[in-house]
Structure 1
Amino acid sequence: MVGLIIRDRDTGVTKVDMTMFISQTVGSIDTNGQNGAIQIPAPPVGRTSFFTVSPLVDLQVEKGKRPGVILNGTSLSWAYSYNTAGWGFFSANCRIYYGYY
């Protein structure tokens, strides 16, 4: 296996081992504050898909809400859900990054 390994000179303890699976971002999608879904590429054999959600607006503490995201095979879907009895809540525009590790 090719990679980088950094060990402590005195103890020989491995500090960094970049021969392990490192995450690879494949793409991203902006939610535009709306529910939605997309198809994403399947990860290479032996790898696992992942996603992460980053807000593109100020969430103003608890008022801006991120979507709930579900990754099922090659289907990535998201939906906003919050208590509408209150005031001031909004569906925050977010970017969902997806990839594999």
Structure 2
Amino acid sequence: MSVGLVARNKGGQIILDMTSSISQNVGSVVTNGGNGAIQVPLPPPGKTAYFIVAPLVDMNRSKGKLPGVMLSGSTLSWQYSYDGNGWGFYSANCEIYYGYY
């Protein structure tokens, strides 16, 4: 049995179904182009944590690199890594959003 809201039009067609998991954004952090880590709240019981990395610079016109992000328990960490033999690469400033669904 699902719990939530289901709205139907006059013909009985479902126009809104809020019985499925909907994400809840909890917060975000800006990397400022450097490695780092923060503590984030654990998701409520039965929910799954997530994160999304969004660049704050134009990635198409440069050689900016996004960080690798890891979520372990309540620690959200990120680290920039790229081939040191090349040139022109830089750590792109990003915002990491985190939450649960």
State the superposition RMSD in angstroms.
1.9
SS at match of 1:85: coil
Amino acid at match of 2:6: L
CA contact (8 A) 2:29 2:95 kept: yes
The structural deviation recorded for 1:51 is: 0.1
CA contact (8 A) 2:4 2:19 kept: yes
CA contact (8 A) 2:5 2:16 kept: no
- 2:4 paired with 1:2: yes
Amino acid at match of 1:40: V
SS at match of 2:59: coil
In structure 1, runs of 5+ residues without a counterpart are none
Structure 1 residues 9-88: aligned runs within 5 Å: 9=11, 17-60=17-60, 63-88=63-88
Structure 1 residues 88-99: aligned runs within 5 Å: 88-99=88-99
Give every structure 1 segment of 4 or more consecutive aligned residues whose post-TM-superposition deviation is greater than 6 Å.
none
Matched-pair identity in %: 57
